[in-house]
Amino acid sequence: MTNALADDVGQVLWVGFHGTSVPERLRAQIAAAEVGVVVVFKRNLVVQVV
């Protein structure tokens, strides 16, 4: 895949993740602008009651 095509695909790629911390691979993809949107769901949040 060419860099231009990879950039175009990344701009429309929506990703989510399991758990409450962002996996290292996803962090790297975000830093490299390889994904367009990261969806954060309720299951990804830690709620603290004080």
Q: What is the pLDDT of residue 5?
A: 80
Q: What is the pLDDT of residue 15?
A: 87
Express each pLDDT in 1-49 by its tens digit: 677 887 777 677 788 999 999 999 999 988 988 888 899 999 999 988 8
Q: What is the pLDDT of residue 45?
A: 93
Contact criterion met (CB below 8 Å) for 20 and 48: no
User: What's the token pair of residue 49?
Assistant: 């009651």
Q: What are phi and psi of 24, to 5 degrees?
A: -55, -40
Q: Where along the chain do its domains lie?
A: 3-44
